């Protein structure tokens, strides 16, 4: 076997589908049986739609027709002083006619949508319920073993897409958990939250008690909402914050949120997870392996978005995996081109997000920026485009852009 992929989430599934389209066979392994839940904010940005389109032109329309999603037309940012900044994804959107620029769907449903595409491809040997316990380096690649220490496969190239808790990423690739570049998150589902946007704007609340981080409220079908909070792990540790207690307290006492949650019903438990952020550039490849998505620490440090970044990395991983197979060369030297491709696409956006994340350490400054944003088209445009697939790279190279971003223009 040339290529084995660990993990059938958005990164792994995207890589497998692009490989299949190019005529390459691969083995795709996941310890879960789909459909399965995944703790996440559930927002699907315009970047996700763009990556779906690259897999199959028909996929965005298929998602839009999916009953388990709602179309989202923008973002409501709430500054620490309560100032609301509404940013539509499209300036003059028409919900009755336009295709939505974003969606919200539970990962249970979205990931399964991709897996159903995987199931249609004979080039992909997809095996569910396979718990990979360890990998071992060989002279030509990797051996992959299950919990009974039985050999599952030997491969020449391993695509590691098994998520934020990836043992391979930690032990083999050296991605140590660094609290300053790691986020602690909680998520719960609610029904009957009042005051949701008629156009399904997702809400990001930058409440002082959660800075540097935010509380979110994302609309879902059937009157449900995904509600959660994310905060830097270093801050949680330093301030000894109990996020579960703090989230419950904010929803009960915050003057803007308490009335909206007074009659809301929580559906199931509050679940937590960790997010390795892309606020620090890390290596994504080594001898006979590539790291994808959360396993590569590619989560946006400001927005917390990880799905589209996983899919971007999956697309580039498929490209460079195919090139490595064609060249019969799986050395670190050739695979470093994968790192370059991913960071060429995401690097400057991650740096901008890191800058905006740092701004959250200064609530008064954040308030000033939010107050000016209503009359600052550069900031409004930038925030909108971060959630679309518009290429910000050229703009981010221009020093005058950052002056306009902070001071208007």
Domain layout of the chain by residue ranges: 3-40+104-177+280-350
- How much helix, strand and coil, in percent to the nearest 5, is found in the chain? 40, 25, 35
Angle between helix 107-119 and helix 10-21 axes, rounded to 10 deg? 20
**The predicted structure's pLDDT at residue 361:** 77
Closest CA to 90 of 393, 405, 408, 381: 381
**The predicted structure's pLDDT at residue 297:** 97
Mean pLDDT by 10 residues, the chain (409 residues): 96 98 98 96 92 96 94 89 82 77 95 98 98 97 97 98 96 95 96 96 89 92 96 93 94 96 97 95 98 97 92 98 98 98 93 81 71 65 56 56 58
- Please give the C-alpha separations between residue 378 and each of 75, 215, 359, 369, 390, in angstroms, as whole numbers: 16, 25, 17, 12, 14
User: What is the sign, positive or negative, of the torsion defined by CA atoms of 393, 399, 402, 408?
Assistant: negative
In this prediction the pTM is 0.92
**The predicted structure's pLDDT at residue 210:** 83
Query: CA torsion, points 234, 227, 269, 184, in degrees to nearest 10?
Result: -10
Question: Yes or no: is domain 3-40+104-177+280-350 CATH 3.20.20.10?
Answer: no
**The predicted structure's pLDDT at residue 226:** 98
The answer to whether the beta carbons of residues 160 and 298 sit under 8 Å apart is no
**The predicted structure's pLDDT at residue 291:** 98
Structure tokens at 78: 């709430």
Rg (CA), the chain: 21
């Amino acid at each position: 076997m040339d290529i084995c992929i660990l993990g059938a989430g958005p990164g792994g599934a995207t890589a497998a589908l692009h490989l299949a389209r190019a005529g390459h066979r691969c083995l795709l392994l996941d310890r879960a049986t789909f459909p399965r839940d995944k703790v996440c904010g559930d927002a699907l940005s315009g970047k996700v739609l763009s990556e779906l389109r690259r897999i199959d032109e028909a996929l965005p329309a298929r998602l839009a027709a999916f009953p388990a999603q709602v179309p989202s037309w923008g973002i409501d940012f709430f500054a620490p002083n309560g100032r609301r900044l509404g940013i539509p994804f499209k300036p003059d959107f028409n919900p009755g006619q336009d295709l939505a620029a974003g969606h919200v769907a539970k990962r249970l449903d979205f990931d399964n949508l991709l897996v159903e595409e995987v199931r249609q491809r004979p080039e992909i040997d997809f095996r569910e319920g396979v718990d990979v316990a360890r990998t071992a380096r060989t002279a030509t690649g990797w051996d992959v073993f299950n919990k009974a220490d039985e050999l599952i496969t030997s491969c020449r190239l391993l695509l590691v897409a098994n998520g934020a808790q990836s043992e391979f990423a930690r032990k083999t690739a050296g991605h140590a958990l660094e609290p300053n570049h790691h986020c602690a998150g909680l998520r719960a589902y609610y029904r009957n939250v009042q005051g949701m946007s008629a156009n399904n704007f997702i809400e990001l609340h930058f409440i002082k008690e959660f800075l540097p981080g935010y509380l979110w409220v994302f609309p879902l079908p059937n009157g449900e909402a995904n509600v959660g909070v994310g905060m830097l792990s270093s801050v949680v540790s330093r301030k000894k914050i109990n996020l579960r207690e703090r989230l419950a307290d904010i929803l009960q006492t915050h003057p803007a949120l308490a009335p909206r949650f007074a009659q809301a019903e929580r559906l199931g438990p509050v679940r937590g997870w960790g997010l390795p952020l892309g606020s620090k550039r890390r290596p994504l490849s080594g001898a006979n392996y590539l790291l994808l998505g959360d396993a590569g620490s590619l989560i946006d440090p400001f927005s917390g978005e990880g799905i589209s970044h996983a899919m971007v990395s999956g697309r580039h991983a498929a490209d460079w995996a195919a090139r490595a197979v064609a060249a019969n060369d799986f050395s670190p030297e050739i695979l470093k081109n994968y790192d370059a491709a991913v960071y060429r696409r995401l690097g400057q956006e991650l740096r901008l997000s890191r800058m905006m994340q740092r701004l959250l350490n200064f609530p008064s400054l954040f308030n000033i920026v939010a107050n000016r944003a209503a009359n600052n088209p550069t900031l409004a445009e930038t925030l909108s485009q971060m959630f679309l697939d518009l290429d910000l790279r050229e703009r981010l190279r221009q020093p005058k852009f950052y002056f306009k971003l902070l001071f208007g223009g």
